[in-house]
Structure 1
Amino acid sequence: MNKRLLAALAPALTAMLITGCATTTPAAVSQAPVAAYRDVIDLNGSLLVNYQKDGKPETLSGKFSWSQKGDLIDVSLASPFGQTLAQISVTPDSATLTQTDKVPRVAKDIDSLTAQTLGWSLPVSGLRDWLQGYATTPGGKRFTASPATNTVTTADGWRLTFVSWQDEAAAQPVPKRIDAERNATATTDELAIRIVIYPQG
């Protein structure tokens, strides 16, 4: 290519490079907090649980469905292939956990009931808030997550990270992935849960 032709093409090449760079600019991350809390929600997603059983590390993966209507919560846990593992129903007065071919178990505290029955504690009381991007801090304050403010330690010792969002640039983002971790204590084992919420609608 001779020098005159190269000089003639230079402006066009420069414009193409600038345009190409512009198209790869990442989308803006919303600074806005999550959408307003709703008393009625229906969600589906997946779980990856790392827990201790008889002093040995165990891993469990599966799917879940969550239906919440005020103080009433119904949770279904299933294997990765869709086989139902447990059904959980929570009311203000009691919690019931049902497994196939077993007598339903009833207790006041669903977190303790799942620990005794499943071998790991599903923090249903916390998930009521977490799935929508909310939590309660050790000082009793209400935490509201956003893509810019995505970590918190809860009043009951869970470390939450809202890792990703259904749409980070949305005016009111909705959580997509939540990582919850809890250290071992005198009364609880070490536990880590990765929660992925499927897009709604």
Structure 2
Amino acid sequence: MKRLIILAAALSALGALAGCATTASSSTRSAAAVAPYRDSVDLAGRIAINYSRDGKKESLNGKFTWQQSKANTDVSLISPTGQIVAVINVTPSSATLKQSGKEPRTAPDLDSLTTQTLGWTLPVSGLRDWLQGYAVASDGSRFVATPANDTVVTRDGWKLDYVSWQDDAAAVPAPKRIDVTRIALGQAVDDMAIRIVIDAAAQ
């Protein structure tokens, strides 16, 4: 009987150690940071934008392609039927927006250009970082996303939630879904929210 008690205690201790080891392993994975920042990125995914225009709630759902080099960014927004809604090109000196059947429009600031022409803001300069899991936090520090540290308010007033990852168990996680909400004085602005799902590298 005594031996059985000792054996049971030993198995219990081993189980506890195994549980600790599993927890530690899981914790290590969840604390793993995203891959180092890359200047060149080629992605494709889905996007949902909810906003208000002239007092009315509007939404846009579709796909996007994202091609980024060190200096330039090219974005195509595509409707669910496959029609290109807008093509955006950003360089260090200008931003150009092209829509089917309309003259291209160019401005130094893409945020204001998209707001004026489309009715919503696509923060391309921020997305260059956000799509890779990086941001500049409201206090000016560099934010690096992990599954355990997945929310930040940026210096320019956007709240980022890294909702899911390409592979939760990966040693180097990559963002899958990012929810982006406009923030003003600490409160969410109901008329501006973006949901991004990264599906794959664009071919």
> Which bin holds the TM-score, normalised by the shorter protein?
0.7 to 0.9
In the alignment, is residue 71 of structure 1 matched against residue 71 of structure 2?
yes
CA distance in 1, matches of 2:118, 2:162: 25
Aligned to 1:139: 139
Report SS of the residue matched to 1:129.
helix
Matches within 5 A, 1:26-41: 28=26, 29-41=29-41
| Matched residue SS, 1:113 | helix
How far does residue 184 in structure 1 lie from its aligned partner after superposition? 5.8
Q: Describe the SS at the equivalent of 1:198.
A: strand
% of aligned pairs identical?
60
Q: Deviations over 1:30-72 (max 9, x none)?
A: 3201111000010001111110011121121011100001021
| Residues in 1 aligned to 2:130 and 2:103: alpha-carbon distance in whole angstroms | 30
Partner of 1:153: 153
CA distance, structure 1, for counterparts of residue 140 and residue 184 of structure 2:
22
In structure 2, the residue corresponding to 1:127 is in which secondary structure? helix
* Greater C-alpha Rg: 1
| Unpaired stretches in structure 1, ≥5 consecutive residues | 1-24
What does residue 9 of structure 1 align with?
none
8 Å contact kept, 2:57–2:191: no
Q: Is contact 1:183-1:189 (8 Å) kept?
A: no
Rounded Cα–Cα distance in structure 1 between residues aligned with 2:99 and 2:151 = 34
| Structure 1 segment 35-184 matched on structure 2, within 5 A | 35-183=35-183
Q: How many angstroms apart in 1 are the aligned matches of 2:173 and 2:82?
A: 29
Question: Unpaired segments of 5 or more residues in structure 2?
Answer: 1-21
Task: Give the corresponding residue for 2:14.
Answer: none
Q: What is the TM-score when the length of structure 1 is the normalising length?
A: 0.82
What is the root-mean-square deviation of aligned Cα atoms in Å? 1.9
Deviation per CA, 1:85-131: give whole Å up to 9, x if none: 11111000000001111110000001111111111011101101000
1:166/1:199 contact within 8 Å kept: no
User: SS of the counterpart of 1:38?
Assistant: coil
Deviation at 1:189, TM superposition (A): 7.7
Aligned counterpart, 1:195: 196
CA distance in 2, matches of 1:200, 1:170: 17
What secondary structure does 2:200 align onto? coil
Which residue of the partner structure matches residue 4 of structure 2? Answer: none
CA contact (8 A) 1:32 1:171 kept: yes
Amino acid at match of 2:34: V
Other structure's SS at 1:139 match: coil
Contact in 1 for aligned 2:65/2:76 (Cα 8 Å): yes
| Residue in 2 that maps onto 1:18 | none
Contact 1:30 1:170 in 2 (8 A): no
Q: Judge conservation of contact 1:183–1:190 (CA < 8 Å) in 2.
A: no
Q: How many residues align?
A: 174
